[in-house]
Structure 1
Amino acid sequence: MSSRALRRLKGEQRAQAALHHDDEDQWEEEEDDEEQKKNIYELIGGFDVAEGPSDEETTERPDEGAPLEKHNVKSEKSSKRKKKKKKKKKAPVENGKEAVAAADDIDALLETLDKTKGLSHASADGCAAEHRPVLYVEHRNLNPETELKRYFGARAVLGDQRPKQRQRQFHRCTWMTVPKDTWPRFSRPERALYCFECAFHPVFSLTSGTSRLDYRRPENRAFYLALFKHVMFLEKRGCPRTALEYCKLILSLDPDDDPLCMLLFFDFLCLRCREYNTLIRLYEEWEVHRNLSQLPNFAFSVALSYYQLSQQEDVPPEEQQQLKHKSDVLLQDALIMFPGALMPLLDLCTVQPDAAVSSHAFFGPKSQIGQPPALSQLLCLYVGRCHTLWKEPGLMLWLEENVRTVLTRVDTHDPYVEDCQNKRKQRYQSAPRNIHRHVLMAEIKEATATLPLEVTTQPGMAFDPLPPLDSIVSYSRPERQNAGAESESTLSLFFRSLLPNFNLQRPEDGQEVARAGRELNQEVNRLMVAMRDMLANIQFQEPQWEDNPDRDEEEWD
């Protein structure tokens, strides 16, 4: 670097130092002025004489000594300011250390508080989830956008909706659906649910699980069907957690009869959204009085839930072994109870079975031909809906291992195999009406092909598929009295066609009605006579053509 550049750099540094020094002096002078303004009572005590000359001395001294005195005063003030600087520099260091120590203590306290709060909240949530009913519905899980935000983020889900929300019109606050300014074409179930929720009774609760709606009443069926269509739409949209919450809602409206047979859908949604504990809890609580193990979907899905739990990394090794053993036992029991599900499942998963398995009589074509029609319908429904869950390579290895174990048990004449065979013969003779209704609404071709002729040939409406045979009619039409219907005039029959409740001859007010009828007949007769006279006086006159030699004869042809 040249000497000129060095001198320029030193000059700039000196200028910056001088400016910095002047700024500090100005800042200190402002502080002194502020202290003097704040401490106004310090003037009472009197100042030291050595700090500055008095008024008399300044008047008596000549003007030549004035600069020296001013210089002395400035030097004394500067020395005092330096002392104050040192004290102020020491004080911030000590205060800084104390502040850092205090901040560390506060941070440590906050961390401990957060940890304790987190533990308390986690324990409280866990305890609350355990004490809640299994069909408890959470409001936050009824909104599909909540699940989509968890997968893709709020920015990807909302997009450009945030600026437009200020210009939206006022809508009623609802839980099941959020009304939109421009409803898309495929959101008809959402519109229907919004209308239904606006008509809810104030006491009706979605989340308590205690509100009931009887499906036998035609007024309640539209709400059931709208919820079912919405569940299917959410599952296809990729929101299985939200669909599970709506499935709980439908099942909680009538858990005893289950008119739409949502138990055939519940396990699939639990596996899709990885709510394995929810499925296991429902199975354990309802197995005693509902025999859920006799449904093929629960027999296979519960075993699959235990297996998925055993593959989680946060589970201890001992617990993993227990869960794995439990899943093996349940899967083997399901294969022995429902052997006709294996080959269709492997077929849809595009897996070629082993020759020892396909040629064995237990899993061969004989097992599918000899099973009852109702059982075939349940198996086709499960395989057609849940076969995508079995396409993982690890699951196929686990299935193959247990299939070989089952063949060994069959060859050794395990008594459980014969017991299951007797159960299959005695049960599953005919499927109830709610299962047929579920198959029709699910629109799974493998299951629809197994419906009996009395269901497929029966005329039905899409808004009320397979209505219950014991429907409760809330509004009955009163019977009309047909006495004297043969003697009624044409006019009375005409009015009866317009007003079904019109009866010209009632016993309670027969005279008045008869008089009114006679008067009406007279007025009508007068009207008819007037119309005849008018029609009789109408005459048609032919148009007069002028003699025009240039007129074309075929002009009007």
Structure 2
Amino acid sequence: MGVLPWRRLTPSHRLLCLMCGCQEGAGDDIDALLETIEQSNGLTLQSEGCGASDNRPVLYVEHRNLNPETELKRYFGARAVLGDQRPRQRQRQFHRSTWMTIPKNTWPRFSRPGISMTLLESRDGLQYFTFEHSRDYQQIQFKFLDSVESMDPNNIVALLQMNPYHIDSLLQLSDVCRIQEDQEMARDLIERALYSFECAFHPVCSLTSGTSRLDYLRPENRAFYLAGYKHMMFLERRGCPRTALEYCRLILSLDPDSDPLCMLLLIDFLSLRSREYNFLLRLYQDWEVHRNLSQLPNFAFSVALSHFHLSQEDQTESEERERLKHKADLLLQDALIMFPGVLMPLLDLCTVQPDAAVSSHDFFGPRSIMPPCLSCLSYIKSKFIWVLLWLEECVREVLRRVDAKDPLVEDCQNKRKQRYQSAPLNIHRHVILSEIKEATSTLPLVRDSGNSHSTIPWSPVLFLI
């Protein structure tokens, strides 16, 4: 970890450190100093386990974990991450303090683009918000739609030159830059869109409490979902899975009942990537009763993986390790019996040649009946986190149970026939946003209902309902 000398702390941080009992010249680790500061304000660092946060909502979001620098500091040290930023901060032209993004001096001078947030109602401890567009912003939106219809990205660029914080134009141009492999510019445009949104937040809108709701069916709100999703994926590709997980929790908390972008297909993968096994198990335990998470193939396999990885941790006692390993074995076997169609494509992606006993067995053939896109997402996203030797052991045990006519095999087969006839619309949205070719190729053709621009190759997905 990097060490931050006392003289390099901001005056406000120095004052808070003195109030918390830190001594000048101590040369404390920046993470330790920030932890002390946050604890003095009633905040606590997120525990690796779920015990310290059991009293908080499962989708509780911490501000500090929305900043990728927090995660990067853990990897490279504070000095490597923050060393060259303080001189630039003295010249910042942005005065609004934000949590989701850090404004950059390279951005155009900010002026409110005409977006505001309104509190619709408060009910049962929840606050329901919506974004609203001013009349001038609506006119810009019409120009944007004309630019989309023209299929010329230069028209989007021209519109942004006149309106540098128009949300949909920022999202669309980001997609164009990403397709042209300008990842840095693509990410920068998404961050600018999020900054514009956050500056419009209602004073009582809380990102962290898990009690703020935003209806995806209102067209003005969809761009915020998309900006958050795209930012989350950039963070994951950047090597910040813990920060990406925090954004995933944030997006899911905005509408956990409908889950319009089906974040449940992604939150388990990010939890495994960031080694937040206890969080994933707590989410599974809290939501299984009313959401049937075990019927999603990604959760069926990810929960088993979480138990396995917890059993391999050094601090786990031997008895607990054996219990977790035994439970992981049973969960993985049940997942393979329920979703046998996932195995062979997964092994193929991992470039593993199954032995003859597995490849020739009828059970792992094309017998599973479930939406193809759901199956694709399950094995494609998780191929990087599998422990193949453990998987092989469980596959052999599954074949033994199948040959022994285990009643669970027939029961799962009947469930697949009844439950996986077609995928709901939120899964289709998720597949489109994922841009995974193996998954998108399985989607049905989208019919243009008059409010969808999905037939335009480079149009925004925000019009999808």
TM over 0.5: same fold?
Answer: yes
Q: Measured at CA, do residues 217 and 123 of structure 1 come closer, stay the same or move farther in structure 2, by a change above 3 Å?
A: closer
Question: What is the CA deviation profile of residues 130-167 of structure 1, one whole-angstrom value per residue up to 9, with x for unaligned ones?
Answer: 10011000000000111111101122223422222222
The reply to whether residue 416 of structure 1 matches residue 408 of structure 2 is: yes
Count of residues in correspondence between the two structures: 341
Give 1:377's aligned residue: 373
Q: Measured at CA, do residues 219 and 155 of structure 1 come closer, stay the same or move farther in structure 2, by a change above 3 Å?
A: same
- Which of 62, 70, 87 is the equivalent residue of 1:163? 87
* Amino acid paired to 1:381: L
Question: What is the CA deviation profile of residues 88-130 of structure 1, one whole-angstrom value per residue up to 9, with x for unaligned ones?
Answer: xxxxxxxxxxxxxxxxxxxxxxxxxxxxx9xxx9999776511
Give 2:98's aligned residue: 174
Aligned residue for 2:212, secondary structure, equals coil
Give 1:342's aligned residue: 343
Structural mapping, 1:449-460, within 5 Å: 449-454=441-446, 459-460=453-454
Greater strand percent: which structure? 2
Structure 2 Cα separation of the partners of residues 122 and 204 of structure 1: 21
Give the C-alpha shift of residue 343 in structure 1: 0.5
Q: Measured at CA, do residues 292 and 323 of structure 1 come closer, stay the same or move farther in structure 2, by a change above 3 Å?
A: same
Aligned residue for 1:453, secondary structure, equals coil
Give the C-alpha shift of residue 453 in structure 1: 2.4
Give the C-alpha shift of residue 263 in structure 1: 0.2
Give 2:283's aligned residue: 282
Give 1:200's aligned residue: 201
Matched-pair contact (CA < 8 Å) for 1:280–1:302: yes
Greater helix percent: which structure? 1
* Amino acid paired to 1:293: S
Structure 2 Cα separation of the partners of residues 206 and 123 of structure 1: 17
Matched-pair contact (CA < 8 Å) for 2:219–2:463: no
Structural mapping, 1:265-414, within 5 Å: 265-364=266-365, 368=366, 370-372=367-369, 374=371, 376-390=372-386, 395-414=387-406
Question: What is the CA deviation profile of residues 56-92 of structure 1, one whole-angstrom value per residue up to 9, with x for unaligned ones?
Answer: xxxxxxxxxxxxxxxxxxxxxxxxxxxxxxxxxxxxx
Structure 1 Cα separation of the partners of residues 375 and 189 of structure 2: 31
Matched-pair contact (CA < 8 Å) for 2:453–2:464: no
* Amino acid paired to 2:444: P
Q: Measured at CA, do residues 161 and 132 of structure 1 come closer, stay the same or move farther in structure 2, by a change above 3 Å?
A: same
* Amino acid paired to 1:172: R
Structure 1 Cα separation of the partners of residues 308 and 247 of structure 2: 26
Contiguous gaps of at least 5 residues in structure 1:
1-116, 469-557
Structural mapping, 1:76-115, within 5 Å: none
Matched-pair contact (CA < 8 Å) for 1:142–1:242: yes
Aligned residue for 2:54, secondary structure, equals helix
Give the C-alpha shift of residue 446 in structure 1: 1.3
Matched-pair contact (CA < 8 Å) for 2:338–2:412: yes
Q: Measured at CA, do residues 123 and 201 of structure 1 come closer, stay the same or move farther in structure 2, by a change above 3 Å?
A: closer
Q: Measured at CA, do residues 272 and 123 of structure 1 come closer, stay the same or move farther in structure 2, by a change above 3 Å?
A: closer
Of structures 1 and 2, the larger Rg is shown by 1
Q: Measured at CA, do residues 372 and 363 of structure 1 come closer, stay the same or move farther in structure 2, by a change above 3 Å?
A: closer
Structure 2 Cα separation of the partners of residues 361 and 215 of structure 1: 43
Structure 2 Cα separation of the partners of residues 164 and 227 of structure 1: 26
Structure 1 Cα separation of the partners of residues 67 and 425 of structure 2: 32
The reply to whether residue 133 of structure 1 matches residue 130 of structure 2 is: no
Give the C-alpha shift of residue 433 in structure 1: 0.6
Give 1:236's aligned residue: 237
Structural mapping, 1:543-554, within 5 Å: none
Question: What is the CA deviation profile of residues 362-411 of structure 1, one whole-angstrom value per residue up to 9, with x for unaligned ones?
Answer: 013xxx2x44351x211111212111112xxxx11111111010000000
Fraction of identical pairs, as percent: 71
Question: What is the CA deviation profile of residues 301-348 of structure 1, one whole-angstrom value per residue up to 9, with x for unaligned ones?
Answer: 000000000000101000000000110010000000000110000001
Contiguous gaps of at least 5 residues in structure 2:
1-38, 108-183
Structure 1 Cα separation of the partners of residues 363 and 255 of structure 2: 38
Bigger RCO of structures 1 and 2 (CA < 8 A, at least 6 apart): 2
Aligned residue for 1:212, secondary structure, equals strand
Q: Measured at CA, do residues 346 and 161 of structure 1 come closer, stay the same or move farther in structure 2, by a change above 3 Å?
A: same
Structural mapping, 1:30-109, within 5 Å: none
Structural mapping, 1:186-225, within 5 Å: 186=186, 187-225=188-226
Structure 2 Cα separation of the partners of residues 262 and 207 of structure 1: 17
Matched-pair contact (CA < 8 Å) for 1:214–1:254: yes
Give 1:510's aligned residue: none
Structure 1 Cα separation of the partners of residues 78 and 327 of structure 2: 40
Give the C-alpha shift of residue 416 in structure 1: 0.3
Q: Measured at CA, do residues 251 and 123 of structure 1 come closer, stay the same or move farther in structure 2, by a change above 3 Å?
A: closer
- Which of 436, 442, 445 is the equivalent residue of 2:437? 445
Structure 1 Cα separation of the partners of residues 377 and 78 of structure 2: 36
RMSD: 2.3
Give 1:249's aligned residue: 250
The reply to whether residue 152 of structure 1 matches residue 144 of structure 2 is: no
Matched-pair contact (CA < 8 Å) for 1:221–1:464: no
Structure 2 Cα separation of the partners of residues 399 and 456 of structure 1: 43
TM-score, normalised by the number of residues in structure 1: 0.59
Give 2:185's aligned residue: 185
* Amino acid paired to 2:403: D
Matched-pair contact (CA < 8 Å) for 2:370–2:416: no
